[in-house]
Amino acid sequence: MHAMVEGRQMVFILDFAPKELRGIALGAFHTIIGLATLPSCIIVDAFW
């Protein structure tokens, strides 16, 4: 499931980012995803 979604997310980001800022757009996207994942992992760990 993750492999199906990952490619589409990157293509979606690259479609809207200007050509000269594509690297920054992908980096920012993955940073935001990582920062959003961190609290969810901490919450699940607390319940585990």
User: pLDDT tens-digit profile of 3-12?
Assistant: 777 788 888 8
pLDDT score, position 21: 94
Alpha helices in the chain (DSSP H): 2-16, 22-47
Mean pLDDT (the chain) is 89
pLDDT score, position 25: 94
| Average confidence (pLDDT) over 5-30 | 90
- Residue 21: give the domain boundaries: 2-47
Instruction: Report if pTM > 0.75.
Output: no
Neighbour count for residue 4 (Cβ, 10 Å)? 7
**What is the tally of structural domains in the chain?**
1
Q: Which residues contact 9 (CB under 8 A, 6 or more apart)?
A: 29
State the DSSP code for 18: -
Assign residue 16 a region: left if phi > 0, alpha if psi is -120 to 50, beta otherwise? alpha
